[in-house]
Amino acid sequence: MPSPTVVLIHGAFADGSTWRAVFDRLNREGHTVLAPPNPLRGLAYDSSYTTSLLDQLDGPVLLVGHSYGGAVITVAGDSDKVAGLVYVAGIAPDEGESVNDLQGRFPALAMGPLIEPTQLSDGSVVASIDPAQFHEVFAADVRGGRSHRGRSSAPRIAPSPLRSTGSPTSAPVRRSPRSRVPRTS
């Protein structure tokens, strides 16, 4: 069996560049690696987008999801091409469960007071993380405290539509091999 293509799916408030160090290391080790954008438009849309990307790839795929990206790979992982799922501090809902459901059951996942909602002119609402709180929310486990990565990433964290976290998983959750990498702090 050929080596799987590793597809890295970022979470909310982020972009593919958050995987840079992992991408570079896997690439140096000879793996085929992709870090596509996660559109952050709701779980059904985001997982459908990811599945359409998988459909364009030849051979097996190893999906890796961070945070909300874990929910995306849970649904997109139903593809026959997926050899396994890896959750890096990722959210792994069961069928019919939403990210909000998990945040209700596991309060440590909830980011409530750290989120700043903003209503857009079309009536939709996006959420942002206060840049002053970025390090605590996204880089608390980075060695060396407030590293250059934590500081430089804060100004470019992407707003996320609030509907992203309320959508329940609709596809059957595939029972492919899973691995979890917990947060280190």
Q: What is the 3-state secondary structure (H, E, C) of 77-135?
A: CCCCCEEEEEEEEECCCCCCCCHHHHHHHCHHHCCHHHEEEEECCCCCEEEEECHHHHH
What is the DSSP pairing of strand 125-129 with strand 160-161? Answer: antiparallel
| Domains of the chain with CATH codes | 5-105+158-181 (3.40.50.1820)
Read off the pTM.
0.79
Instruction: Return d(Cα 91, Cα 167) in angstroms, integer.
Output: 13
Q: One digit per residue, pLDDT tens: the chain, 185 residues? A: 679 999 999 988 888 888 999 999 999 999 999 999 999 888 888 999 999 999 999 999 999 999 889 999 999 998 889 999 999 988 888 888 877 787 778 776 666 666 777 777 887 777 777 777 777 766 666 655 444 444 445 544 556 655 545 555 555 455 555 555 555 44
